[in-house]
């Protein structure tokens, strides 16, 4: 879609270029930005010109994924087990053309409940790396960085630099399950399990307004899983939109959680 209100475009060459004037917005992949009218936007600042590496190795076998890393680039990273990143990329139900443009940072900052990059980062104990306007940096778990539909912890002048994923989480066994009203519909429930040495970390997204991580015993009973999921859902509220009613999402989330835990235990 053409953004008829945009009259200025500039590329960022240094961190100082990320200070935005009134009406300016950061641009990475732009797949959402150009998908609907943005009458309040009068200028765009291209982040991709900063030349951030899509992903970088971290000590201990970890991985830093840049905010400007595209979904296609993400799948080329040196994952110990690539099944989960592929499952999350496929959960976004985008064409290969969009996967070469849409970015990990854009998915996180958009903060939609069905954001599968949010699910991936939360399930792998991801930590958001945020540049602050004073030239500093702060770090925050993705589970609190995303606070609700369309809402993150970013404040004026802050920029998401990337997401750090620890090596121990990348090496853990994982399993996932997804539910939607139609085969190619937006995710109504996405559940990811990670097997830790003494627990199963269960990440719930899409059916709740923000990512929720539950710690369960290594081999929980079905009753325990369903009760824990139901309690968590009641606390944050089951999400409702045209892609699924709250009671149906709750039922699907419970079912998927049981299946994921069974696969890991």
Rounded Cα distance, 65 and 103, in Å = 10
The pTM for the full model equals: 0.95
Rounded Cα distance, 70 and 251, in Å = 33
The pLDDT, as a whole number, for residue 3 is 87
Mean pLDDT (whole number) for 58-87 = 96
The pLDDT, as a whole number, for residue 35 is 86
The pLDDT, as a whole number, for residue 1 is 62
Rounded Cα distance, 1 and 31, in Å = 10
Mean pLDDT (whole number) for 39-58 = 94
- 99 close to 194: Cβ distance less than 8 angstroms: no
For residue 103, count other CB atoms closer than 10 A to its CB: 27
**Where is average pLDDT lowest: 11-20, 30-39, 136-145, 163-172?**
30-39
| DSSP one-letter code for 244 | B
Rounded Cα distance, 9 and 11, in Å = 7
Ordered by start, the domain boundaries in the chain are: 8-49, 55-168, 173-264
Angle between helix 116-123 and helix 83-91 axes, rounded to 10 deg: 150
**Burial (0-12, 13-18, 19+ Cβ within 10 Å), 38:** middle
- 95: pLDDT strictly greater than 80: no
Q: Which two tokens stand for residue 244?
A: 């699924």
CATH of domain 55-168: 3.30.465.10
Give 97's pLDDT tier (boundaries 50, 70, 90): confident
Mean pLDDT (whole number) for 169-195 = 96
Rounded Cα distance, 48 and 159, in Å = 13
Q: CATH topology of 55-168 equal to that of 173-264?
A: no
Query: pLDDT tens, 125-139?
Result: 999 999 999 999 999
Partners of 46 in the beta sheet? 11, 27
Give the mean pLDDT of the chain. Answer: 95
Domain 173-264 has CATH 3.30.390.50: yes
Q: Tokens 């139901």 — which residue?
A: 230
């Amino acid at each position: 879609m053409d953004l008829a209100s945009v009259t200025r475009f500039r590329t960022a060459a240094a961190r100082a270029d990320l200070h935005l004037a009134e009406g300016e917005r950061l641009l990475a992949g732009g797949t959402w930005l150009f998908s609907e009218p943005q009458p309040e936007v009068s200028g765009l600042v291209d982040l991709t010109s900063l030349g951030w590496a899509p992903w970088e190795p971290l000590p201990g076998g970890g991985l830093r994924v840049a905010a400007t890393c595209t979904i296609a680039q993400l799948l080329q990273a040196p994952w110990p087990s690539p099944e989960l990143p592929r499952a999350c990329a496929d959960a976004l139900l985008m064409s290969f053309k969009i996967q070469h443009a849409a970015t990990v940072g854009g998915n996180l900052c958009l903060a939609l409940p069905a954001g599968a990059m949010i699910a991936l980062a939360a399930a792998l104990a991801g930590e958001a790396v945020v540049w602050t306007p004073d030239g500093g940096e702060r770090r925050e778990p993705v589970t609190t960085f995303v606070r609700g539909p369309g809402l993150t912890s970013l404040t004026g002048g802050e920029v998401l630099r990337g997401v750090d994923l620890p090596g121990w989480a990348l090496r853990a066994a994982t399993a996932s399950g997804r539910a939607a009203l139609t085969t190619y519909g937006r995710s109504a429930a996405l559940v990811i399990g990670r097997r830790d040495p003494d627990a199963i970390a269960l990440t719930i997204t899409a059916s709740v307004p923000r990512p929720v991580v539950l710690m369960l015993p290594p081999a929980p009973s079905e009753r325990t899983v369903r009760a824990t999921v139901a309690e968590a859902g009641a606390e944050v509220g089951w999400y409702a939109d045209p892609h699924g009613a709250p009671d149906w999402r709750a039922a699907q989330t419970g079912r998927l959680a049981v299946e994921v835990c069974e696969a890991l235990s």
